[in-house]
């Protein structure tokens, strides 16, 4: 997850230094792909065998849609919000599949680290908000209504919450609070 956080900084820093230029699409689109790869490997071993099939099918679906999107639009011409939204829907399903597996397996429930649950929580909050914002991307960008622009504030708040929850997870691992969750 630390790698995901570090990679997510690149487009944000590029926007801060370059402003809103078309080359940012390249940074953001590469970030969408890198985020997918990192989260795929993060969740890869986290499922029971019956849910592993669902995980892999959803992963292949995202990968194929990403390849199609990049080959059709390229990485520079536009920000691939469609791919981002699909990925975030899939991440949400991966999170819920993981929570369901933890819920149904008492042994796994007793041995799941707090940091893992915190990562799931932070990611779930952020992906849900991201789907809403970027699903409405073209409408928000085309509308001059200042109230719609406030959705970015909400997105920034959820982004900040995700990073705070991730930090708490990293800190709990660092402090050695990897003990089983007591019921």
Q: Give the Cα separation of 141 and 14 in Å (integer).
A: 20
CA–CA distances in Å: residue 77 to residues 15, 80, 92? 16, 9, 28
Higher pLDDT, 165 or 23: 165
CA–CA distances in Å: residue 43 to residues 40, 54, 57, 159? 5, 12, 13, 20
| pTM of the full structure | 0.83
Give the mean pLDDT of the chain: 84
Residue 137 has pLDDT above 70, yes or no: yes
pLDDT per residue as tens digits for the range 71-114: 999 998 898 999 999 999 999 999 999 999 888 888 877 878 88
- Helix 114-135 and helix 81-104, axial crossing angle in degrees, nearest 10: 150
């Amino acid at each position: 997850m630390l790698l995901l956080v570090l990679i997510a900084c690149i487009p944000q820093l590029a926007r801060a230094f370059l402003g809103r230029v078309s080359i940012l699409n390249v940074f953001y689109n590469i970030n969408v792909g890198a985020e997918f790869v990192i989260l795929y490997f993060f969740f890869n071993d986290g499922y029971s065998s019956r849910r592993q099939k669902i995980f892999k099918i959803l992963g292949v679906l995202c990968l194929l849609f990403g390849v199609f999107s990049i080959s059709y639009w390229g990485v520079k011409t536009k920000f691939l919000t469609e791919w981002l939204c699909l990925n975030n829907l899939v991440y949400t399903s991966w999170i819920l599949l993981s929570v369901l597996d933890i819920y149904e397996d008492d042994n796994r429930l007793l041995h799941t680290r707090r940091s893992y649950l915190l990562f799931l929580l932070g990611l779930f909050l952020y992906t849900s908000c991201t789907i809403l914002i970027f699903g409405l991307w073209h409408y928000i960008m085309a509308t001059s209504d200042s109230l719609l622009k406030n959705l970015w504030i909400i997105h920034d708040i959820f982004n900040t919450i995700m990073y705070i929850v991730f930090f708490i997870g990293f800190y709990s691992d660092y402090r050695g609070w990897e003990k089983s969750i007591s019921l």
